[in-house]
Each structure stands twice: as structure tokens, then as C-alpha cells.
Amino acid sequence: MATNLKNLSSYNPNDIPNASGMRIGIVVSEWNEQITHALLEGASDCLKKHGVSDENIMVEYVPGSFELTLGAQYLLDYTLPELDAVICLGCVIQGETRHFDFICDAVANDIHRLGIDYATPVIFGVLTTNNQEQALERAGGRHGNKGVEAALTAIKMAALRNKLEAQFEKDKENIFGKL
């Protein structure tokens, strides 16, 4: 597993683009809230550390991980000015039934699809573990905090999109502005 090799929170801060001015939505699942609140703390501390202001972090809660994607879609549809990225934070723990598989499949596929449909980074910050101990290890424990990893991914992808969009606008002006 990748997380055996890599602490989710260890990175070189100099490799991260400046995020000041970015507007980031965070959707948090209330299921396993001890874990998801720790993920939220990791994510928002990380965003602030890299320049995102408090008022540019929009946090909303949904009942469970299954609802994360719809929560993210609401944020994308109803927030102005538009968001640069949305982070989905949840924790699904393996139980005795197949619920785990259904929730994990749905949330992974839907988060992926939402990002493509909206051409906006929608980040998968969902822990999918065998037990509570594994989740705690990845929510501020010995494997770091997946909320931090999700925040860094949001910043990097938003910076990439903003850079390419700005370049595209410049190129358009250079090419078509001269016609």
C-alpha cells in the first residue's frame, strides 16, 4: 500500500504553489465524525498555511460519505464567486455487510465524474479502512493526515487550472486580438 511508504502529511512546502486568493469548498461527512473532523482540521490548517484566507474556505456538512458528491455539487452550483476546488472529506469503515463496497464505489466514481463534468478539481479525501484504528492512523496519527494530502492536491490542481486558463486567455488575445 502506498500509505505504508509515504506519510500523508510529509512534503516540502516550497513545492506547493501560493494559494492566496484561492476559494476552496470543503464538504465533510458527519459519519465517523471523530475522524472526519480531524481530517477537516488538517485540511483547513494546510490551506491557511499556504495562503488561503479564512473567509475563502467554505465548509458544509453532509450526513454520510454517500452524500459527499451531491454536497460538492451544491457548493459548485451555488457559490459565488466560483470556487477554485472542492475537497470531499469522509471515512468509510469496513463492516459486516456489503455497504462498504457500495459507498466506496459510488463516492469514488461520483467525485471523479463531478470534477470532469465541472472542469474543476474535486478532491477525494475519503479514508476507506478495515477498522477505526487504521482510520485514526491516517487522521493525524502515524501515517499523517489525509486532510492535509487532500488540501495539497486541491491547491496544486487549482493552480494548474488557473495557470493554463490564464495562458489560454493570453494566447487567444495574441492570436485573435490581432485579426
The binding site for ligand DLZ (CB under 6 A) comprises 29, 31-32, 63-67, 90-93, 95, 99, 103
Would you call 99 a catalytic residue per the annotation?
A: yes
Residues 6 or more apart in contact with residue 93 via CB below 8 angstroms: 32, 100, 129, 130, 131, 132, 135
Residue 52 vs 103, nearer CB to ligand DLZ: 103
Asked if residues 85 and 154 have their Cβ atoms less than 8 Å apart, the reply is: yes
From 37, 50, 99, 112, active-site residue: 99
What's the one-letter identity of residue 63? P
Q: Euclidean distance between the first and final Cα of the chain, in Å?
A: 55
Least distance CB 16 / ligand DLZ (angstroms): 28
What is the distance between the alpha carbons of residues 39 and 41, in angstroms, rounded to a whole number?
5
Residue 100 vs 118, nearer CB to ligand DLZ: 100
Task: Calculate the alpha carbon distances from 165 to 27, 153, 161 in Å.
Answer: 25, 18, 6
Residue 42 vs 71, nearer CB to ligand DLZ: 71
- Positions marked active-site: 99
